[in-house]
Amino acid sequence: MDIIMMLTYAALAIAAFKIFRLPVTKWSVTTTALGGAFLMAWIYISMAYFHPYTPYAKIYFQTSPISAEVKGKVVKVFVKTNQPLKKGDPLFQIDPVPFQATVDQLKAELVLAEKRLKETTKLIKMQAGRGYDLERYQADIDSIKAQLIKANFNLESTTIRAPADGHVTQSRVREGIMAGAFRISSLMTYVIKEKPYYIAAFRPNATQNIKVGAEAEVIFISVPGKTFKAKVVKLWDDIAEGQLVPIGMKMISFSGKLPPGRIPVQIELIDDISQYYIPGGSAFGVCVYSEHLKFLGDLREIFLHMFSWQNIISFDEKEN
């Protein structure tokens, strides 16, 4: 953006010499050059402070790792990636046969234990039984009921269901694989259907003029030549660089925490972008306008529109 400002000033200066026939002397050229340098520096610094811009912004979305609560072989996969789903829809199923067998076995044991309890109760009434047997059979019934609750839970857990409205974006589940054996990684990555988070990272000195509700504009690399209206909805009070976490038996360390980081600012788009293909995780640029030096805000808006046209030409980043 600074290149655009310098080129604009150079064009105006050349036009002034050509149109108004200003004498080309060492004093006029020097004054124009130095005046332009001071003017460009003041405009650039003022715009950066009062109407900050950052190219470091990204669309974030909430995901939920999907794993199996029980161990077994996958016998059925119900969904495909990017298929719209409702909360509770089945995703895949683990072979329920061994879990159903456990439930049936416990139900049979419960019937038998309840029968013995009734028989023992009758014997005690006839003074032909022992109170110990009555207590033991009652304890057996309580234990079997508790095991049956767990067995039914495991049986229901053989069908893994969607935790919320959304879709599966990545799936490592195939029929025949073993699920629930390891919890190192998830079997599916589930994207929850909700508004994405538009987070911009500004330099600390620029955040003094960023207020909640402030007007903002967004440019996307994938949509050259267009800007979109937005507003600031949140400024973070805490950032990850300042988090102190004890690791194992080690003391809390300040190492690596001192360099200042960028401040995350959440914005909300006002304009509709549904007609454009802008996937979650896309990068974009954000400019926030303050109440100070509004004429520079207008100039920043013009430059932002000009800058957005540069996205027509895109170059791949160099590999590390």
- DSSP letter string, 14-52: HHHHHHS-----HHHHHHHHHHHHHHHHHHHHHHHHHS-
CA-closest candidate to residue 168, choices 136, 152, 190, 135: 190
Q: How far apart are CA 167 and CA 51, in angstroms?
A: 38
Angle between helices 2-19 and 26-50 (to 10 degrees): 150
Contact at 8 Å (CB) between 57 and 286?
yes
Whole-structure pTM value: 0.73
pLDDT tens over the chain, length 320 residues: 566 666 777 777 777 677 766 676 766 667 777 777 777 778 778 888 888 998 889 999 888 889 888 999 999 999 999 999 999 999 999 999 999 999 999 999 888 888 887 877 776 666 655 666 667 878 888 899 999 999 999 999 999 999 999 999 998 899 988 887 665 568 899 999 988 999 998 888 888 889 999 999 999 988 888 899 999 999 887 777 777 777 666 666 665 555 567 888 999 999 999 899 998 888 899 999 988 888 787 888 887 888 788 777 765 555 44
- Residues 174 and 73 both lie in one domain: yes
Contact at 8 Å (CB) between 149 and 155?
no
What is the per-residue pLDDT for 209? 86
From 157, 192, 227, the end of a domain falls on: 192
Main-chain dihedrals φ then ψ at residue 38, nearest 5 degrees? -65, -40
Q: How far apart are CA 151 and CA 104, in angstroms?
A: 9
Rounded to 5°, angle at Cα 178 from 177 and 182? 130
What is the per-residue pLDDT for 254? 60
What is the per-residue pLDDT for 240? 74
CA-closest candidate to residue 226, choices 297, 265, 276, 280: 276
Tokens of 59: 């669309």
What is the per-residue pLDDT for 320? 42
Task: Write the CATH number for 122.
Answer: 2.40.50.100
Contact at 8 Å (CB) between 66 and 188?
yes
- Residues 167 and 69 both lie in one domain: yes
Is 69 a domain residue? yes
Is 27 a domain residue? no
Q: Which helix (H) or strand (E) holds 188?
A: strand 188-192
CA-closest candidate to residue 308, choices 291, 287, 279: 287
Is 32 a domain residue? no
- Residues 170 and 224 both lie in one domain: no
Q: How far apart are CA 20 and CA 44, in angstroms?
A: 27
- Residues 51 and 198 both lie in one domain: yes
127: containing domain: 64-192
Q: How far apart are CA 69 and CA 95, in angstroms?
A: 13
CA atoms within 13 A on the CB side of 253: 6
- Residues 124 and 225 both lie in one domain: no
- Residues 178 and 226 both lie in one domain: no
